[in-house]
Amino acid sequence: MVFKIAVVGLGKIATDQHLPCIAKNRNFKLVAGVSRHAKVDQVPCFESLGQLRASKIAVDCVALCTPPAVRLAMAREALDYGWHLLIEKPPTPTVGELLAMEAYARKKKRVLYAAWHSRYNKSVDMAKAKLKGHHVNFLKVAWKEDVRKWHPGQEWIWQPGGFGVFDPGINALSIVTKILPEPIFADSATIEVPANAATPIAANIRFKRGDGAAADLSAAFDWRQETGETWEIEIGTKDGMTLHLKKGGSVLFVNGKIAHEAVLHEYEDIYAKFARLLKAKNSDVDASPLQLVSDCFMLGKPVLTEKFV
């Protein structure tokens, strides 16, 4: 079966990842785009879901690539039209909205897939397998990049609900929540917010184990690094094993020796999984990375920093 899909929100991530991967996947056929400003070549484009519905174009599913703040209402509208949903990360601005979206999809008997693209490579899967049954007592996440390179001109990221530096930081947390054998929890955070923004440009976070056992668990996110990207996760266990994920989780070192280097096909794998979920009529919604971000904001101490220009 070929699923007829529309992409909603035709910004950078849709253009760079979703559209090319849909074109390569035989399980999907792009039938429409939805955006108030952008267009897609060779398919009809509309300014709203309502206009798409009124066009009578047959649609099976929708990929929501809009900013998170507007997704719940759009998701409900799409579900009311009988369409299945894939949602880009971060899925929603709050955990409550994600849970409400999941419940509504269940009520409408539609598939809802909340995709966390950084989880999709073999190095991450190998790290998860290596850590199974081990007691983690060390975690150091460094996720640093240049906001001007990765989010050029995107003002929504600085508005309430836009996540700020937690937009890339949640990628790291999506890996951490997948591979750790036990959940961790936010303990404290320092969050740097530019004087002319509502969301952070940097954050330093301390985590804790749920059982209260001593552990050194931390993360540093920063959007001001202009000398290339640092996307790394270091993990240590009580029995002396060390893991080091580099390059966004694609390269894995175990005890100092390279164990695997993945060829990244994150969005290709996302659409392969979406096809499987659609065929099986199953949803996949994991709120744990979003929950960690929410808890960091709840427990974080805001620090005002210079304006972002």
- Which residue numbers are catalytic? 89
Mean pLDDT, residues 72-81 taken together: 98
Domains in the chain: ranges and CATH: 3-114 (3.40.50.720), 118-264+294-305 (3.30.360.10)
CA distance 141 to 130: 18
Mean pLDDT, residues 255-282 taken together: 96
pTM, entire model: 0.94
- Predicted pLDDT at 264: 84
- Rg of the chain on CA atoms, in Å: 20
Dump pLDDT digits (tens) for 161-186.
999 999 999 999 999 999 999 999 99
> What one-character-per-residue DSSP string does 1-60 give?
--EEEEEE--SHHIIIIIHHHHHH-TTEEEEEEE-SS---TTS-EESSHHHHHHTT---S
Taking 90 as the threshold, does the pLDDT of residue 153 lie above it? no
Taking 90 as the threshold, does the pLDDT of residue 250 lie above it? yes
CA distance 261 to 6: 33
